[in-house]
Copies of this chain bind each other. A is one copy, B any other.
Amino acid sequence: MTLKLFELVGLDGARPFSPYCWRIRMALAHKGLDAVSIPWRFTEKAALAPYKSEKVPVLLDGDQAIADSWAIALYLEDAYRDRPSLFGGEGGRAMARMLNAWGDLAIVGGIFPLIIADIVSQLGPEDQAYFRKTREARFGKTVEEVAAGRDSAVIGFRKSLDPLRLTLKAQSFIGGEQPNYADYIVFGGFQWARAVSSFALLEADDPVYAWRDKLLDAFGGMARNSGGYPV
């Protein structure tokens, strides 16, 4: 049975850029599973309606459809339990939930204002209009106004990575000696940024930079070779 994954793209259908889709793309590779990518754009709500979702990722596995990255990760862990574990046991599965929340808030929330204008430039006209309308309502500012402060905002973002930085002083990955889903949660945000923006999120001497490099190289360089800007 072929797995299929709806992944967010813009003008370039071969360059998926959702942080949540990248969590799952890495999780699939961790499990040694292939999935056919179905490129999906912001305004293609109708394509997801049969699966009761308005957002990606949506994973199709035979006659099952699973929406939401966290739900998909749990599904993959349970449905493919003979494959390498994403969580390393029940404790990791529970704790990853909090790291997932941290990833949503500190990583996705922290990176978004820094790359928001770059996202616009990767979208076709209809998606641009949709993205501007929904995101500008959320921020109460234009995309350009949000992005204008990024040279100072990035300093706060880097500081917010201190818990990860401290962790990487003690071990190679959040998951320990090898990466697991906790790493993919965080990495997804960096891969999202890299797909659409050349803005330097990290300084080259940051342990987080070296960690990201290892994940860019993982699975035969899957993430590094998926398009986007060199970082």
Contacts and interface: CB of A to CB of B under 8 A. Distances in A.
Interface of A: 85, 87-99, 101-102, 104-106, 162-164, 166-167, 170-171, 173-176, 180, 182
A163 B102 contact: yes
A21 to B, nearest CB: 20
| Copies of the chain in the assembly | 2
Given A101-B166, A102-B102, A93 B91 contact: yes
A196 B159 CA distance: 29
Given A88-B89, A102-B102, A105-B162, A171 B97 contact: yes
A41 to B, nearest CB: 28
Most buried by B among A85, A93, A173: A93
A89 B94 CA distance: 11
A90 B176 CA distance: 8
Contacts of A94: 88, 92, 171, 173-176, 180, 182
